[in-house]
């Protein structure tokens, strides 16, 4: 069967919706496969790259793939790869992936493109790996597709990006398995990265900022807020109480799910895009304390059962003690999986989330460009559902990350005498 690839057009929307239904049924949790308004927006967006595949003989639409981009942050995300079940096995998925990736990089506007792949079979992992994508980690329970599924994170880089990474010399001990997996799987050098000593309580020092999910704006900033990306930051001035032993607090929290209002208020509070680093994320939900002490901005996806934390106002550390309550509230809202991005250099932010039960799930080397240098980020996640890897088909490139996640999870949640090596 011969197929031709071309850019998607608005008149393709009806056939695209049918394709995604044929591939995923009613369970596809992404709007680009089901919402005509969102599909039209992406197809006509000059910064998006959407390719479709049609049979040369009949004209039937049999494949689709999209790269969404964030030009300001120079990042792209490959989503919506679908090939009709009757036309699989001929390499069409690989052709679509390679073509859309090349188109996106050809603009010169992107430094990297990432994607998540399902682990129901090893085939999607092989498809993206053959087209230059490197595995970066696992996201357990990250999506509700055909039940609760674990995804793998991959990324592809423009030439020369990885060679201009800013090095971080020491990180919390819980991150070492993840960094070791990156070195084993894709050769990212972390051999010289050391484990930081456990933080010591110091009641005379102010709480540091958590630069990973919030802004450096507002009052009460510390040296941490002023440090440039890539700088080794000192350990936080709070005890790293582990989830298995720390007392759980309950903070009253209100949930506002009015996307238009949330987006406008977010832009008012964080007018500088550099203040709240959230590439390809638009917050649609606010979780706030009734007394106005903090507002947490999040991208809540009820269809996928997931949520990404984007920013905290007035300062990131205002909500540090409310993360347990946050999980409870988001669980009631339908999100059993929560993630956040933190710079690898932000020691305080990493410790804060580790202390609240978030597990290092994936690394993203050279994610953020500052000047001519690139800075590594860590994706930390927490799920309150039972994690079951028995149904995942983890390929050899991803397997080191599975081992790293299990090691980190055990170090955070199990008493030392229960961890058998």
Q: What is the mean pLDDT of the chain?
A: 85
pLDDT band of 31, cuts 50, 70, 90: confident
Residue 49's nearest CA partner among 131, 130, 133, 109 is 109
Report how far apart, in Å, the C-alpha atoms of 148 and of each of 37, 111, 324 are. Answer: 27, 31, 21
Residue 215, pLDDT above cutoff 50: no
Q: How far is CA 92 from the centre of its chain?
A: 27
- CA atoms of 84 and 69, how far apart (whole Å): 25
- CA atoms of 117 and 419, how far apart (whole Å): 30
What are the pLDDT digits (tens) for 258-302? 999 999 999 999 887 666 788 888 899 999 999 989 999 999 998
Residue 38, pLDDT above cutoff 50: yes
Question: Which region among 45-59, 162-176, 236-250 has the lowest average model confidence (pLDDT)?
Answer: 236-250
What are the pLDDT digits (tens) for 297-334? 999 998 888 999 998 898 877 787 888 888 889 989 88
DSSP annotation string for 325-391: HHHHHHHHTT--EEEEEEETT-HHHHHHHHHTT-EEEEEEEEEEEETTEEEEEEEEEEE-SPP--TT
Q: In 10 A of CB 200, how many CB atoms?
A: 11
Please state whether beta strands 359-370 and 373-383 pair in parallel, antiparallel, or not at all (unpaired).
antiparallel
Residue 381, pLDDT above cutoff 90: yes
Phi, psi for 388 (deg, rounded to 5): -130, 105
State the first-to-last Cα distance of the chain, in angstroms, to the nearest integer.
Answer: 52
What are the pLDDT digits (tens) for 197-209? 877 654 333 333 3
pLDDT band of 9, cuts 50, 70, 90: very high
- CA atoms of 71 and 75, how far apart (whole Å): 7
pLDDT on residue 148: 82
* Residue 390 burial (10 A CB sphere; 0-12, 13-18, 19+): exposed
Higher pLDDT, 414 or 126: 126
What are the pLDDT digits (tens) for 79-130? 999 999 998 889 999 999 999 999 999 999 999 999 999 998 999 999 999 9
Residue 74, pLDDT above cutoff 60: yes
- CA atoms of 64 and 67, how far apart (whole Å): 11
Please state whether beta strands 75-83 and 61-70 pair in parallel, antiparallel, or not at all (unpaired).
antiparallel
Higher pLDDT, 216 or 246: 246
Q: 278 Cβ partners below 8 Å, 6+ apart? A: 299, 308, 310, 311, 341
Residue 216, pLDDT above cutoff 60: no
Strand partners, 374: 165, 369
Residue 347, pLDDT above cutoff 70: yes
Q: What is the pTM of this model?
A: 0.86
The Cα diameter of the chain in Å comes to 75
What are the pLDDT digits (tens) for 353-370? 998 899 999 999 999 999
Report how far apart, in Å, the C-alpha atoms of 193 and of each of 87, 185, 368 are. Answer: 47, 17, 20
Residue 211, pLDDT above cutoff 80: no
Tokens representing residue 18 in the block:
């049918």
- 315 in Cβ contact with 214 (< 8 Å): yes
Please state whether beta strands 306-313 and 337-343 pair in parallel, antiparallel, or not at all (unpaired).
parallel
Tokens representing residue 207 in the block:
């709480």
- CA atoms of 362 and 405, how far apart (whole Å): 9
* Mean pLDDT for the stretch of residues 149-155: 95
Question: Which region among 30-44, 213-227, 357-371 has the lowest average model confidence (pLDDT)?
Answer: 213-227
pLDDT on residue 420: 54
The sign of the torsion formed by the CA atoms of 317, 322, 327, 333 equals negative
Residue 232, pLDDT above cutoff 80: no
pLDDT band of 145, cuts 50, 70, 90: confident
- 235 in Cβ contact with 208 (< 8 Å): no
* Mean pLDDT for the stretch of residues 136-160: 91
């Amino acid at each position: 069967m011969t197929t031709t690839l071309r850019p998607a057009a608005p008149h393709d929307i009806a056939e695209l919706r049918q394709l995604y239904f044929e591939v995923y049924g009613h369970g596809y949790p992404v709007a680009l496969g089901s919402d005509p308004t969102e599909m039209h927006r992406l197809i006509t967006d000059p910064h998006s790259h959407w390719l479709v595949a049609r049979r040369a003989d009949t004209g039937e639409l049999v494949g689709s793939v999209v790269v969404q981009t964030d030009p300001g942050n120079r990042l792209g995300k490959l989503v919506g790869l679908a090939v009709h079940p009757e036309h699989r096995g001929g390499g069409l998925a690989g052709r679509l992936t390679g073509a859309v990736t090349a188109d996106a990089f050809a603009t010169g506007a992107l430094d990297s493109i990432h994607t998540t792949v399902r682990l129901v079979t090893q085939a999607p992992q092989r498809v993206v790996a053959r087209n230059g994508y490197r595995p970066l980690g696992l996201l357990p329970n990250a999506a509700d597709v055909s039940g609760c599924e674990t995804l793998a994170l991959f990324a592809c880089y423009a030439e020369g990006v990885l060679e201009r990474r800013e090095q971080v010399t020491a990180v919390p001990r819980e991150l070492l398995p993840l960094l070791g997996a990156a070195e084993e799987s894709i050769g990212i050098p972390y051999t010289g990265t050391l484990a930081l000593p456990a933080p010591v309580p110091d009641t005379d020092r102010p709480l540091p900022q958590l630069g990973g999910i919030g802004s450096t704006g507002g009052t009460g900033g510390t040296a941490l807020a002023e440090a440039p990306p890539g700088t080794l930051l000192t350990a936080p001035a709070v005890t790293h109480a582990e989830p298995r032993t720390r007392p759980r607090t309950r903070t009253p929290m209100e949930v506002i799910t009015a996307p238009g209002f949330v987006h406008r208020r977010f832009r008012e509070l964080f007018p500088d895009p550099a203040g709240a680093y959230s590439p390809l994320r638009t917050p649609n939900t606010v979780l706030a304390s009734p007394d106005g002490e903090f507002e947490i901005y999040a991208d809540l996806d009820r269809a996928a059962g997931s949520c990404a934390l984007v920013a905290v106002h007035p300062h990131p550390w205002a909500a540090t003690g409310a993360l347990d309550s946050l999980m409870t509230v988001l669980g009631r809202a339908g999100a059993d999986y929560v993630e956040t991005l933190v710079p690898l250099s932000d020691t305080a932010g990493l410790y804060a989330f580790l202390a609240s039960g978030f597990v290092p799930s994936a690394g993203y080397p050279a994610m953020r460009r500052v000047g001519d240098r690139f800075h590594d980020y860590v994706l930390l996640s927490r799920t309150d559902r039972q994690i079951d890897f028995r149904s995942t088909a983890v390929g050899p490139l991803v397997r080191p990350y599975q081992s790293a996640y299990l090691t980190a999870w055990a170090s955070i949640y199990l008493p030392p005498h229960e961890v058998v090596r």
